[in-house]
Chains A and B, each alone.
Chain A
Amino acid sequence: MRALLAALLAQSEGWRYGYDLSKETGLKSGTLYPLLMRFAERGWVEARWTEAAAPGRPPRHIYRLTAEGRRVAVEDVPVAGAEPLRLHPA
């Protein structure tokens, strides 16, 4: 979870493709997309469809952190040995 936030934070102003995030974080599709979905439901990530770069390819989903997502990521990602990421805030 933290790896995904870190990957998104690394290019926090740019949009990222799902497969690129998978390559960078090592997360499998069965883990990556439920996490992205959860992040989006919490308002940490925004997603939108974009036309494919190559002709004949389907439109792709792209993702980036929201301001709230950046705040959460900055708080939780960079400190080594920090407390586990709070996915269920009180």
Chain B
Amino acid sequence: MSGLRARIEKMLDGWLPSLSDRRRDWVKAALAELPEVPDRRVPGWALGVGAIAVRDLAEQAFLPWRRGKDTRPPAGFAALLGLILLALPIYYLAAVFVWQDWTFGRIGTLISLGGTLLCLWLNLAAVLKADSLGGLHYAVGVRVLPRNIGLVLAAAALGFVVFNAPLV
């Protein structure tokens, strides 16, 4: 368990610089309690603290006015969120316009529509804030648009090869 405790400490400690000023001290405070927490309660404690941190990172991503000055999201978080927000619009477009029989039904389409709207908002917020995503490096970001187009084209090519059907 000490290995798990150390890994949790290291991961959350690495997230601290990415958190907003409002929450950083509190997450640090919760993390400082970890040595006092008995082994059996460590996963629950860490999940709770992690949830506070993830909520803060998500707020900073989608609500730019809450973004801390000069903060950048942890690379893993940005990559995961970015890929999700890249995949959902692709799924939505494919479900609506191309492979109408391929969807998981209305729920899948609605979820992907929600993801598409969040993706659009993330980019619109970045444009409105005029800070090029404030240094955020989400895969959907305007700054990495050429790479995203490349990813979409690669997905289209893969789809064509695997399913012998064009995406568009």
A41 closest partner in B (C-beta): B22
- Asked if A18 and B33 sit within 8 Å, CB to CB, the answer is yes
Residues 5-33 of B, flagged 1 when their CB comes within 8 A of A and 0 if not, give 00000000000000000110111111111
Q: Are A57 and B35 in contact (CB under 8 A)?
A: yes
| In the complex with contacts A60-B29, A61-B29, A31-B48 CB distance below 8 A | yes
B166 interface residue (CB < 8 Å to A): no
Bound state CA distance, A24 and B37, in angstroms? Answer: 13
Contacts A33-B26, A37-B26; A28 near B32 (Cβ below 8 A): no
Task: Please determine whether A30 and B47 come into contact, CB atoms closer than 8 angstroms.
Answer: yes
Does B101 interact with chain A (Cβ within 8 Å)?
no
Option from A17, A31, A34, A47 in Cβ contact (under 8 Å) with B33 = A17
A interface SS class:
helix
| Residue from B26, B27, B29, B47 having most chain A Cβ neighbours under 10 A | B29
Q: Please, how many angstroms separate the alpha-carbon atoms of A37 and B53 in the complex?
A: 13
The count of chain A contact residues (Cβ–Cβ below 8 Å) is 20
Q: Is residue A81 contacting chain B, with contact meaning CB distance below 8 A?
A: no
A28 to B43, CA, bound (A): 11
**Residues of the A chain whose Cβ atoms lie less than 8 Å from the Cβ of B22:** 37
Report the separation of the CA atoms of residues A57 and B48 in the bound assembly, to the nearest whole angstrom: 21
Cβ–Cβ contact B49 & A19, under 8 A: no
Number of B residues with CB within 8 Å of any CB on chain A: 21
**Measured between C-beta atoms, what is the minimum distance from B61 to chain A in Å?**
19
- How far apart are B109's CB and chain A's nearest CB, in angstroms? 32
- Give the docked Cα–Cα distance between A31 and B26 (Å): 12
Q: Does A43 contact B (CB under 8 A)?
A: no
Tell me whether A36 and B26 are in contact (CB under 8 A): yes
B118 CB-CB contact with A under 8 Å: no
B35 touching A33 by the CB < 8 A rule?
no
- Chain A residues with Cβ below 8 Å from B30 are 18, 29, 32-33
Known: A29-B52, A33-B26, A37-B26. 17 other contacts (CB 8 A): A17-B33, A18-B33, A19-B33, A19-B37, A22-B33, A29-B30, A29-B44, A29-B48, A30-B47, A30-B49, A31-B48, A32-B30, A32-B48, A33-B30, A33-B48, A58-B31, A61-B32
